[in-house]
Structure 1
Amino acid sequence: MSNLNATAGNRGPGVRYVTIDARHAGQRLDNFLLAQFRDAPRSLIYRILRKGEVRVNKGRASASQRLQTGDVVRLPPIRMAADQPRPKIPAGWIAQLENAIIHEDDCLLVINKPPGLAVHGGGGVPFGVIDILRASRGKAAMLELAHRLDRDTSGCLLLAKSREVLLNLQAQMQSEGTADKRYRAVVKGRFKRGKGRDGEVLVNAPLRKNILKGGERMVLIDPNGKPAQTVFRLLEARDNASLVEAQLLTGRTHQVR
């Protein structure tokens, strides 16, 4: 299939039509476009979607639409401003992330993401984990985020080396009882024990996702949203701070927040 890259200062190729194969079936349209136009800011991707410049099977399409095998996607030419060159990634960041890899095989890569680094660039962030690793390994290397961590959050981040592995990992993460996802956080004050086993606190708050004009995603508590359940446990308390563990029973964006 075609592989397009937006080039700074030049108008890209004319309108292109890409037929979706099995490797990309099930992928969200916005994520597909972000992978095709890797140098383009997220805000630009969502802008061309809103304007209807991207079409699927000749019809308008939303960012969240799932692509199917055989779909024909219209990719418009993209113009990047000449005064917005692709940010150069410092060699120090490349070395730091390569040293932070804790597991790698033919299917996936697991990295211990440091705090203060976004998982991808966009929205004023020049680059992130995925951009650094792609710069290190070259554009030919297939690397896609299987999930995300907040910029200030550290922890294990999984990256897939093929579309098949990506879908498999995401399916496991979204399936209840398949993946055990736990986070630890230090919170201000004394965490109040709940009535559950060992003082567990179950937070059951349905979440609804909104996509803003700039492409950013905002998650709100909404009774009509998707179920989101998190179990909190107090691990340790000292003075005016508590160490808690958050176990995700479901896999929703910004669920721990």
Structure 2
Amino acid sequence: MTGREDFSPVRTLTVDSEHSGRRLDNLLGSLLTGLPVGRIYSMIRRGEVRLNGRRCRAHSRVAEGDRLRLPPVRLGGGDAPGAPQTRRSEALSGRILHRDRSLIVLDKPAGLAVHGGSNQGAGGVIERLRAELGEDTLQLVHRLDRDTSGVLLIARRHSALRRWHDLLRSRRVRKTYRLLVHGDWPDSRRRVEQPLRRGVDLSGDVQVSPAGAPAVSEFELISRYASGYSELLARPRTGRTHQLRVHATSAGCPIVGDARYGDAELNRRSRRALGLRRMFLHAESIAATVDGERTEFSAPLPDELRDCLKRLQKRDAGQ
């Protein structure tokens, strides 16, 4: 961050077939990620956004070939939309697992939010990829928590975004996560069905509540370690915020390194004993049947998580 306010340049874009038919406010929200919604509507009302040279309304529908003029936009931290300041050594394009006409599959690193914000001076995943690849219309298919690593799907075409959203809504996408938890996981397989909702306090933490939305997670034991840890696979059957983290904690086995829902003292011990300074939660794979073909994308376990497991194995072996 530079501590000053910069302006993005005036941009004139041509609407392609992928975005034809979208509402103007919806399209601007995807192009100007991180800009408050109120600011977007204000720009439209004041005539700062022009569609084919004319004033327009938020509910206007764009068509292929339309010319859209976007005004200069002021952002804190000196980061213009789609142009975050990214060091070459941090390039995300080198973490792309798969790329085709419609989709990018990224191996997201831990510690990076998927969307930029006031505390993301270099932007989040989507802003940085848009800048690196020169593709302003990239869209997140789904989200991962900041401290979760692994498979992240990004749509290059609006048709792909709709297709994957339909699959997710109908629960036809199989997500698998690898995690390490504190304690001895009691069952080889366990299905956790506990409704979740945001708490009413200022923290906004997700809580188990009878008044919450239905949430289902399936856990499978991989290994128990004598030093008091368990390695698991987890498959969320619903997609609630922080679902696996809250369900693991509610089962009495919080995820190692989870600063929000875990145990602070246990996390301190883990940092000393295992040298792990992040949450041990990794999105290992995503699978679905797309256009009649079974598709699966996988991301390898990061080195720091692999090293953590090796330390546990050595401790169990008495080395």
* TM-score (structure 1 length as normaliser): 0.66
Residue matched to 1:237: 224
Please report how far the alpha carbon of residue 162 of structure 1 lies from its aligned counterpart in structure 2 after TM superposition: 1.2
Alignment of 1:144-223 (within 5 A): 144-176=139-171, 178-193=172-187, 199-208=188-197, 219-223=206-210
Deviations 1:119-148 (A, max 9, x none): 121141221211221111114x42111011
1:135 and 2:128 aligned: no
- Aligned counterparts of 2:8 and 2:132: Cα–Cα separation in 1: 25
1:212 to partner: Cα distance: 10
Once residues 159 and 212 of structure 1 are traced to their aligned partners in structure 2, the CA distance between those partners, rounded to angstroms, is 33
Aligned 8 A contact 2:109 2:148 in 1: yes
In structure 1, runs of 5+ residues without a counterpart are: 1-6, 14-20, 57-69, 194-198
**SS of 1:122 mapped into structure 2:** coil
The match for 1:8 is 6
Aligned residues: 209
1:190, CA displacement in angstroms?
Answer: 1.3
Deviation at residue 172 of structure 1 after TM alignment: 0.7
User: What is the SS of the residue equivalent to 2:131?
Assistant: helix
Match of 1:85, SS?
coil
Matches within 5 A, 1:52-63: 53=42
* CA–CA distance in structure 1, aligned partners of residues 9 and 199 of structure 2: 31
Q: 1:45 aligns with which of 22, 32, 36?
A: 36
Asked if 2 retains the 8 angstrom alpha-carbon contact of 1:118 and 1:150, the reply is yes
Instruction: Please state how far the C-alpha of 1:108 moved relative to its aligned partner.
Output: 0.3
* Alpha-carbon distance, 1:208 to partner: 3.2
**1:4 matched residue in structure 2:** none
Partner of 1:228: 215
Q: Do the aligned partners of residues 12 and 169 (structure 1) sit closer, same or farther apart at CA in structure 2, a change above 3 Å counting?
A: same
CA RMSD of superposed structures (Å): 3.8
**In the alignment, is the contact (CA less than 8 A) between 2:7 and 2:72 conserved in 1?**
no
Matching residue of 2:85: 88
Within 1, Cα distance between the matches of 2:37 and 2:170? Answer: 28
Distance 2:89 2:200 in 1: 34
- Runs of at least 5 residues in structure 2 that lack an aligned partner in the other structure: 12-18, 46-57, 62-69, 246-319
**Aligned with 1:149: secondary structure?**
coil
Q: Are the counterparts in 2 of residues 23 and 164 from structure 1 also a CA contact under 8 Å?
A: no
CA deviations 1:42-75 (Å, max 9, x no partner) are 4x615659xx85899xxxxxxxxxxxxx9349xx
Contact 1:174 1:250 in 2 (8 A): no
Q: Which amino acid aligns with 1:237?
A: R
Match of 1:59 in 2: none
Structure 1 position 34, deviation (Å): 3.8
2:282 matched to which residue of 1? none
Contact 2:29 2:37 in 1 (8 A): no
After TM superposition, give the deviation of residue 80 of structure 1 in Å.
2.6
Shift of residue 210 of structure 1?
7.9
Q: CA deviation at 1:242?
A: 0.8
For residue 189 of structure 1, report the CA deviation from its aligned partner: 1.8
What is the one-letter code of the residue matched to 1:149?
Answer: L
Q: CA deviation at 1:179?
A: 1.0
Identical pairs, percent = 33
- Separation in structure 1 between the aligned mates of residue 114 and residue 72 of structure 2, nearest angstrom: 24
How far apart are the structure 1 equivalents of 2:20 and 2:145? 30
SS at match of 2:186: coil
> Which residue is 2:236 aligned to?
248
- Preserved contact between residue 174 and residue 251 of structure 1 (Cα < 8 Å): no
**Normalising by the residue count of structure 2, what TM-score does the alignment of the two structures yield?**
0.55
Structure 1 pair 190–9 and aligned structure 2 pair: CA distance change class (3 A): same
